[in-house]
Amino acid sequence: MNITFLQKMLLVLALLLAACEPNKQVSELIPMTVQLASAHQAVYGGFYLAEQKGYYAEQGMRISFIEGNSNTDLVAPLADGTAQFGIMGASTLISERAAGKPIRALATILRRDPVVFFSLAESGIIRLQDFVGKKVLATPRLQARLHAMLAKAEINIDKLDVISTGSFTDLYTGKIDVASGLITSSVLSAKQSGYEVNIIYPDDYGVHFYSTTIYATDEYIAANPELVTKFLQATFKGWTEAVEDPQTIGEIVKIYNPNADPKFETASMAATLPYIHTGEDYLGWMKPEVWSGMLKTMRAQGEITTSLDINDVYTMEFIEKIYGENNS
């Protein structure tokens, strides 16, 4: 069968169009950036999974992530448009809002605070009352949390020897008696190093804080409600799968952080699960009484001294819409 010149040209054109179609689809995705609070790690596993599985792309978005650290201004990238969404701790968000930063929480992924105090099992320090007369490591950021716990237990802070600098590994050499850190990293590291530890939870002393929280600026939320909804829908889908199959997260983290230890990150994700899926309500859900309680605690400890309406700190509009639609 002879192929005419016209037929050849039509065939070439068809092949070119087919080759260009994926690029066309990619170019139509809206580029969006998420500002992380720290380096790439398992605590962001659900976001990574949503990106890798194409859930953001399904919603018309091409997502990228910016790493942060303890010195990163987590508000500036959203204010100048470099990022559209950000991740930070709920107490930090309250502080930023109190300082006049126009950001608002959209959903909370870690709905229990993974910050804990811990001691070596052999020390016999198993409760807050056992801190009396002991050397307790609490960074400046965590000292307000410690003060709140002590106030609940009616223990004077002066009865403790509080140390503000150091590492949880100082437990191993006896430089400190009690360390503080994340149960998903510091405690996990201690256990993997062969140390059995006692864990003292702030929750057990009536200090309830949210942790990993998604936020955006008031301006962006008002101007882009549909995009906010789609971003959260894709994010919740990713986190749902991360909770159901945490064993996949270690290798996914390594895609973003080549130096990551997949086994450690998988273990970290597994340790995070009770803080994400509390069994009380929907993933990402926020309770007014928890936000109010956080603000009350922060005021009592002098962290917040300015006027602040807690209703300006978060919005339930989008998660109520998403879960309302899912239940209809």
Domain boundaries, the chain: 10-112+209-326, 115-205
pLDDT digits (tens, 9 = 90+) for 15-65: 333 443 444 344 599 999 999 999 999 999 999 999 999 999 999 999 999
The per-residue DSSP string of 168-219 comes to TTHHHHTS-SBEEEETTTHHHHHHHTT--EEEE-GGGGT-----EEEEEEHH
Dihedral over Cα of 187, 191, 193, 194: its sign = positive
**Mean confidence (pLDDT) of the chain:** 89
Task: Give CA separation, 129 vs 24, 39, 134, in Å.
Answer: 64, 35, 10
Q: Do the domains at 10-112+209-326 and 115-205 have one common CATH topology?
A: yes
| Strands of the 103-108 sheet, one edge to the other | 61-66, 30-35, 85-89, 212-217, 103-108
- Number of Cβ atoms within 10 Å of the Cβ of 173: 7
State CA 243 to chain mean position distance: 14
- Give the start-end residues of each E strand in 72-202: 85-89, 103-108, 115-120, 135-137, 161-163, 179-182, 197-200
User: Sorting pLDDT into bands at 50, 70 and 90, what band is 326?
Assistant: low
pLDDT at 2 over 50: no
Q: How confident is the model over 275-280, as a mean pLDDT?
A: 83
Q: Which CATH class is domain 115-205?
A: alpha beta
Tell me yes or no: is domain 10-112+209-326 CATH 3.40.190.10.
yes
Q: How confident is the model over 303-310, as a mean pLDDT?
A: 94
pLDDT digits (tens, 9 = 90+) for 54-102: 999 999 999 999 999 988 999 999 999 999 999 999 999 999 999 999 9
Q: Whole-angstrom Cα distance, residue 226 to residue 206?
A: 37
